[in-house]
């Protein structure tokens, strides 16, 4: 995708000559199911997914057991799934789902995010005094 599409992330990636990042602007579920091979990713970063707060919309939430299982499948052994949310109720759901999915070993989120920059949303939310919940799980080696 050319940098003139208005994607500051892409421009920054190109300017820094980073070669191990790919940006895909497409439906995440379709990418997970049809475009990513098992064991093909070192890390999945999921920052502030839409909480779909209305009960009738919960089925649209990205963090669901089947989706998380697929995320773990596309991770290489030792790969990490990192998630952040500012929505307290969705944070509880994320904690429950990640805790219940087989093959996900919990990691200390502070350690997992230590060397990663804050997102623009995260800076904004912290400035507003909104609490941020972070989650990190590992696909164990040999799984």
Q: How many helices (H) and strands (E) does the chain have?
A: 6, 4
Active site residue 110: no
- The tokens describing 46, both together, are 């999921």
Q: What are phi and psi of 136, to 5 degrees?
A: -145, 130
**Burial degree of 3 (CB within 10 A; 0-12, 13-18, 19+):** middle
Catalytic residue among 27, 50, 66, 108: 50
Cβ within 8 Å of residue 35, ≥6 positions away: 24, 26
Rounded CA-CA distance 67/71 in Å is: 6
Are the C-beta atoms of 85 and 94 separated by less than 8 Å? yes
Active-site residues, by number, are 50
């Amino acid at each position: 995708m050319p940098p003139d599409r208005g994607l500051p992330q892409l421009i920054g990636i190109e300017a820094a000559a980073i070669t191990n990042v790919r940006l895909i602007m497409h439906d995440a579920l379709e990418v997970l199911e049809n475009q990513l091979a098992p064991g093909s990713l070192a890390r999945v970063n999921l920052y502030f997914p839409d909480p779909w707060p209305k009960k009738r919309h919960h089925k649209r939430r990205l963090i669901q057991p089947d989706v998380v299982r697929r995320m773990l499948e596309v991770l290489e052994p030792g790969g990490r799934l990192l998630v952040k949310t500012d929505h307290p109720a969705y944070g509880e759901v994320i904690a429950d789902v990640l805790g219940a999915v087989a093959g996900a070993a919990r990691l200390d989120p502070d350690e997992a995010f230590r060397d990663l920059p804050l997102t623009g949303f995260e800076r904004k939310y912290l400035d507003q005094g909104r609490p941020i919940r972070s989650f990190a799980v590992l696909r164990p080696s040999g799984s």
